[in-house]
Amino acid sequence: MRSDKMKSGVERIPHRALFKSLGLTDEEMRRPMIGIVNSQNDIIPGHLHLNDIVEAVKAGVRIAGGTPFQFPAIGVCDGIAMGHEGMKYSLISREHIADSVEIMAMAHPFDALVFVPNCDKIVPGMIMAALRLNIPSIFVSGGPMMPGFYSGKKMTVSNAFEAVGAVGANKMGEQEAKDIENYSCPGCGSCAGMFTANSMNCMTEVIGLGLPGNGTIPAVNAARIRLAKEAGMKVMELLGKNICPRDIVTSDSLHNALTADMALGCSTNTVLHLPAIAHSAGIKIELKDINRISKATPHLVKLSPAGPDTLMDLWQAGGLPAVLKELDEYGLLNSGCMTVTAKTVAQNIKGASVKDANVIRNRENAYSPDGGLAILWGNLAPDGAVVKKGAVLPEMMVHKGPAKVYNSEEDCMAAIMGGKVVSGDVIVVRYEGPKGGPGVREMLTPTSAIAGMGLDSSVALITDGRFSGASRGASIGHISPEAAAGGLIGIIEDGDIISIDIPNNKLELLVDEKTITERKAKFVPLEKPVPNGYLKRYRKMVTSANTGAIFEE
């Protein structure tokens, strides 16, 4: 056993003495030692309850003959960090989480690991660590939040963000806004729509690292506790069979994840995280691969913010096994891939079925014949940009308009709330990319304000930053190269015409080549000051958004 390095032999007498100071018996030390990565904290709603999940995992490990040890991982709540300097620390926490798990698991050589994440960057950070370490591992997330209810309508945190714009445009009174504030987020769990956290928990299940139900069982349902116990037991089986993360995360399983991503209409952040996860497995995903898969995959599920349904509805409709069964029938899956059930995808979904065809549609009734995400190219994004096209209104799929240019999210938000953005505009927010931010802030605050004002049918927003999965509308992010790296987005001026053509994957600055050449010759990228510390180190090491914003080797 790997843990023999720290517990077996005469040389390990002092190590065993230290274990006994923890209250461990000789029998517990003889058993496999299982690390449990617990990202519980008291500030993230999706993580508030994770100690209960971890206790269930521990019970499962003990049932199956192992000895569990939990250790912590940090986390950032994107919703609470949104709209201020704190958001610069969200994406960059992914690398920190991966590094810290590696440190703990190498310093204390556990035989296997159980990862308990829930939100945003915590999930991909932990997956990246699991792939680096490549010891038997399983994931069990904290599960999605239940939807809120107000005036007989389901609600999510998107409604709260959009209330800001509605109040600013005098379309909503203060009392209604207060009611939305009180009722939209009813309890613990990852925010109830197909935002980044739930997108990545679904991807974890599809890719094979989480048990069926990992992505959709609600946080407050007892089935989540049972799932955690099963994960604790299952990791012991994975250890016995020596099934490791790199046996599961392969080119074929990543293809499955991207296919499900398109069918589900997941967050644009998956286009940052899946390439970074692939990189940790020694596999390369390119943006052209994502578009190719999107073109072949029907959009079958439309959850908040793109539609009224939530993760609870998807779970009740049959969950991800039902979605995968539908995709497999179209020949779109690699169903022979191994998973943490110690069975293949085909075996896992054999008995699955769609229980609500209004939530999980078939190909004939799909929302669109192709996927919920699209990659755009053009002179503005020669290395690519991404849009959640499943959340774009039909009238904004093709749009031309004059640019309104801002060098920060704060400047953009002040203009929106000040009434300076009007119908037809293309808002440009730059210097928010990996190096420029630094940290690739999410633009949910401005996109929600636009939607709340009723401008999402006539105003687009493009940025070298990124978007929350809760953003909707013609919101185009990850423009690469970014402004700080000399990208064309850095030389756009107010009034320049920008052309967006999502069906044809085009994003163009309609300025003549002579003018572009003259502007480039004079262009000096802005470098925002950052404090000494992690932000400064991150800026030096990070690569472009089209690579997944991984660190340079």
Which residue numbers are catalytic? 468
CA-derived radius of gyration, the chain? 23
Q: Alpha-carbon distance 235 to 118, whole Å?
A: 19
* 8 A C-beta contact, residue 481 and residue 504: no
The answer to whether 129 and 98 have CB atoms below 8 angstroms apart is: yes
For 118, what's the count of Cα atoms within 13 Å in the CB-facing half-sphere? Answer: 33
339 near 235, Cβ under 8 Å?
Answer: no
User: How many angstroms separate the Cα of 105 from the Cα of each of 3, 132, 493?
Assistant: 10, 11, 50
Q: Which residues of 145-166 are buried (b: 16+ CB within 10 A; e: fewer)?
A: bbbbeeeeebbbbbbbbbbbbb
CA distance linking residue 61 with residue 64, whole number of Å:
5
Helices (H), 351-443: 409-417
d(CA 273, CA 243): 23
Which residues face 501 on adjacent strands?
398, 506
Contacts of 469 (CB under 8 A, 6+ apart): 193, 194, 195, 196, 197, 198, 199, 266, 267, 268, 269, 305, 388
CB 387 within 8 A of CB 373: yes
DSSP-assigned states of every residue in 249-311: SSHHHHHHHHHHHHHHT--TTHHHHHHHHHHHTT----HHHHHHHHHHS-B---BTTTSSB-H
Q: Cα(first)–Cα(last) distance of the chain, in Å?
A: 31
- The answer to whether residues 267 and 388 touch, using CB atoms and an 8 Å cutoff, is yes
Other C-beta atoms lying within 10 Å of the C-beta of residue 393 = 13
- Six-digit token pair at 296? 């072949």
Amino acid at 261: D
